[in-house]
Amino acid sequence: MQLRAYNEPEFSNVRLTEWCEAQRISLCRIQPGKTTQNVYIERFNGPFRRELLETHLFRSLAPVRQLIDE
């Protein structure tokens, strides 16, 4: 499995890297200035950040999964 992420602070921290390693997920970085390398997620990131990440503090994945499933 692979997770493609931008080189932004919320996607470039040690905890994310450690979690990916523990889950056996390959963390791939998009080259700076090359947002077209992941066009699908480009449209998703803005609203996701504004509507979810900037308005809630999550202490585990369970509440996040509940919001996504609603």
Residue 24: predicted pLDDT? 93
What's the pTM value of the predicted model, to 2 decimals? 0.46
- Residue 54 — φ and ψ, nearest 5°? -80, -10
Of 67, 34, 42, 39, the closest CA to residue 53 belongs to 67
Could you tell me the mean pLDDT of each successive run of 10 residues in the chain, 70 residues long?
76 82 89 72 76 76 79
- Cβ(3)–Cβ(28) below 8 Å: yes
Place of tokens 């369970």: 62
Residue 70: predicted pLDDT? 67
